[in-house]
Structure 1
Amino acid sequence: MTRRTVLGAFAGIASLAAAPVYAKAPGLIREAGDIRKIRMYSQRTGEKIDTIYWVDGEYIPEVLNEISFFMRDWRQNELISYDPRNVDVMAAAQHKLDTSEPYLMISGYRSRKTNDMLRARSRGVASNSYHIKGMAADLRLRSRSVAQMYNAAYSCNAGGVGKYTHSNFVHMDCGPVRTWGR
């Protein structure tokens, strides 16, 4: 039996049985507990991800590879090793929102080419975006408002959080702590 098989078998009951371990962890990780899980889907590719990516103090490398593939630049079909710290930010915010709904991932990793193209269309795209570094995501939930998502991500105190009310999404990254938006 592989580790992944065991994790899959216990995923449903583990969250009920395991008490979170908070020692030596930054605020955002304290919200994620012993088992960290992320749920997302992409309308652009039709792909979904609903997975446990961290157990008892360890990231699961194979799952991080799956997340990197999911977060790839679909326009250029390029991927980068996506920063697991941002997965932690997203998972902690999702946990705080107390929802089983997966995030709609609007944008994850962006190649320089894609970022430059988007920047030419909108003044809201940074030239040295954390998306280019595989450290950011733009996300939406049907069941939660932009303000609720923003507040959950902001309360993690773990990176950049941008509120895009008119476009109905929240930006989360694992760069320096900062906020923007209206």
Structure 2
Amino acid sequence: MTTAKSSLITRRGILRSFAAAGLSAAPVYANAAGFLRGSGDIRRLRMYSGRTGESIDTIYWIEGEYIKEALKEVTYFMRDWRNSKMKSVDARTIDIMSAAHGLMDVNEPYMLLSGYRSPETNNMLRARSSGVAKKSLHMEAQAADLRLKSRSVSQMASAAQNCSAGGVGSYRGSNFVHMDCGPVRTWRG
């Protein structure tokens, strides 16, 4: 019989082993899913939004299956808060966020700064800042800008990069990390 603590230690050991080995596979997205396999085949996402005051704590995957209702909840939560427009969030992005969170070994939920962005919102933000991409993956519901109080931008970016599953942007000045399920790449904003 194993205790919850010994199971957790085993899970951490597995995750650290994967990170240390620097696994690579095609497609690279498989790495994020690989990090999650050690979590008992249950995937969870916890976030809150300072913009809307909402929070979400959902199990979105069990035993090899995405839970459609949970994905709908995540889509609603990650909507464009400026105009309430929505687009189904790409499950790969959710997996990357969940895997990175697990690698950081935190209980704190992510603070979501930006999830889906409508083209109108993206254009408005581009007019204000040169750091907003014209063809942002936020408009495809394939990206999220996230913050944790208990982890630095460097720690968050490192965890996301260890997933080798998408783009990771470090924004130290604004204290957030961009994670997406696009091509593997890194940048600093």
TM exceeding 0.5? yes
Aligned to 1:163: 170
- CA distance in 2: counterparts of 1:85 and 1:27, whole angstroms: 11
Aligned to 1:113: 120
Q: Deviations over 1:77-135 (max 9, x none)?
A: 10111101000000000000000100000000000000000010000000000000000
SS in 2 for 1:132: helix
CA positional deviation for 1:30? 1.4
Of the three residues 69, 73, 76, the one matched with 1:69 is 76
CA positional deviation for 1:26? 1.3
Q: TM-score of the superposition, structure 1-length normalised? A: 0.87
- CA distance in 2: counterparts of 1:108 and 1:161, whole angstroms: 14
- CA distance in 1: counterparts of 2:36 and 2:70, whole angstroms: 16
SS in 2 for 1:117: helix
Q: Deviations over 1:156-179 (max 9, x none)?
A: 000000000011000000001011
Q: From the two aligned structures, give the one with the greater helix fraction.
A: 2
Matches within 5 A, 1:1-182: 16=7, 26-33=30-37, 34-181=41-188
Amino acid at match of 1:172: M
Q: Return 5+ residue gaps in structure 1 as ranges.
A: 1-12
CA positional deviation for 1:32? 1.3
Greater relative CO (CA pairs within 8 A, separation 6+) = 2
Hey, which bits of structure 1, 4+ residues long, moved more than 4 A? 16-20
- CA distance in 1: counterparts of 2:44 and 2:33, whole angstroms: 12
Stretch moving more, 133-142 or 31-40: 31-40
CA positional deviation for 1:68? 0.2
